[in-house]
């Protein structure tokens, strides 16, 4: 089966890499020429990847088409592209409901939304899919794991959780900047924080809960306990919950 990718940005590139890098059964992949330099680089790197002449050529040559463009660009990118009725369309366009996408890809009706993350490049991603879709599951099971959801509200909750990534990096940046302010050279502080949290990430695999890990690190009377309690008292975690409520309200209000 050939896959087509319209929108070869970070997520599109991660999907192509996961499908193609160091595998014996890499599928054929057709890329849109929109991000010409990235697309050309992937085609040069992987034998089974080619750059199509235009978006129509992607749709014509691939049974499963992934749309990986920004929400604001979806209408203009797909305008004028003719989707045959037998195409499967997988949308990674954040916040765009199937009801909004449907007229853009008609007469195709086999449509699912997906939330692939950069880890799919290492075939280590967990990709939510709504609604359950055999082609989507077959694709993303190759790239890690899938979570098939019949409930759109559950899908939106997963999507809202991805809104925390930038805030996470700002948290790490604040720690690194604080180290710099104490006199630690900037590069050393950033390297230390990056290494520390990369190591902590490994401890999350197989954990029963994040609260359990918090209790494990918050030694009674220790420094971790002190900082945790100060952040709790300041309402930081309640503010996070409220912010996530705002994100999901935005997602549920889009296109409904």
* β partners of residue 3: 29, 64
Q: Residue 205 above 90 pLDDT? A: no
Q: Residue 256 above 60 pLDDT? A: no
Number of Cβ within a 10 Å radius of residue 94: 17
Q: Residue 133 above 60 pLDDT? A: yes
Average pLDDT over residues 48-53: 97
Average pLDDT over residues 215-234: 96
237 and 231 in contact (C-beta within 8 Å)? yes
- What burial class does residue 68 get, using C-beta atoms within 10 Å of its C-beta: 0-12 exposed, 13-18 middle, 19+ buried? buried
Which segments of the chain belong to CATH 3.40.50.720?
Answer: 3-150
2 and 27 in contact (C-beta within 8 Å)? yes
Query: Can you tell me the distance from the alpha carbon of 46 to that of 49, in angstroms, rounded to the nearest whole number?
Result: 6
pLDDT band at 153 (very low <50, low <70, confident <90, very high): very high
Which pLDDT score, from 0 to 100, does residue 252 have? 84
pLDDT band at 234 (very low <50, low <70, confident <90, very high): very high
Average pLDDT over residues 45-62: 97
Query: Can you tell me the distance from the alpha carbon of 207 to that of 219, in angstroms, rounded to the nearest whole number?
Result: 18
Query: Can you tell me the distance from the alpha carbon of 12 to that of 68, in angstroms, rounded to the nearest whole number?
Result: 6
Architecture of domain 3-150: 3-Layer(aba) Sandwich (3.40)
CATH of the domain spanning 163-253, picked from 1.10.3730.10, 3.30.70.660, 1.10.1740.10, 3.30.1300.10: 1.10.3730.10
Q: What is the pLDDT of residues 57-92, one digit of tens each?
A: 999 999 999 999 999 999 999 999 999 999 999 999
Which pLDDT score, from 0 to 100, does residue 254 have? 58
69 and 6 in contact (C-beta within 8 Å)? yes
């Amino acid at each position: 089966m050939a896959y087509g990718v319209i929108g070869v940005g970070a997520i599109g590139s991660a999907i192509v890499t996961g499908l193609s890098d160091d595998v014996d059964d890499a599928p054929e992949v057709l890329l849109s020429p929109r991000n010409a330099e990235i697309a050309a680089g992937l085609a040069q790197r992987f034998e089974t990847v080619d750059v199509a002449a235009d978006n129509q050529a992607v749709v014509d040559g691939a049974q499963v088409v992934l749309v990986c463009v920004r929400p604001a660009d979806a209408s203009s990118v797909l305008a004028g592209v003719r989707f045959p009725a037998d195409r499967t369309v997988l949308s990674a366009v954040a916040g765009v409901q199937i009801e909004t996408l449907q007229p853009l890809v008609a007469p195709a009706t086999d449509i699912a939304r997906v939330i692939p993350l950069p880890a799919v490049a290492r075939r280590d991603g967990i990709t939510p899919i709504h609604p359950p879709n055999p082609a989507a599951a077959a694709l993303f099971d190759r790239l890690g794991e899938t979570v098939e959801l019949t409930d759109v509200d559950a899908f939106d909750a997963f999507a809202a959780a991805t809104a925390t990534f930038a805030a996470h990096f700002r948290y790490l940046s604040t720690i690194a900047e604080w180290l710099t302010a104490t006199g630690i050279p900037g590069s050393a502080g950033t390297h230390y924080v990056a290494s520390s949290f990369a190591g902590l990430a490994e401890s999350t695999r197989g954990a029963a809960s994040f609260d359990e890990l918090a209790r494990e690190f918050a030694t009674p009377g220790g420094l971790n306990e002190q900082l945790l309690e100060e952040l709790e008292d300041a309402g930081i975690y309640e503010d996070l919950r409220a912010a996530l409520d705002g994100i999901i309200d935005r997602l549920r209000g889009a296109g409904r």
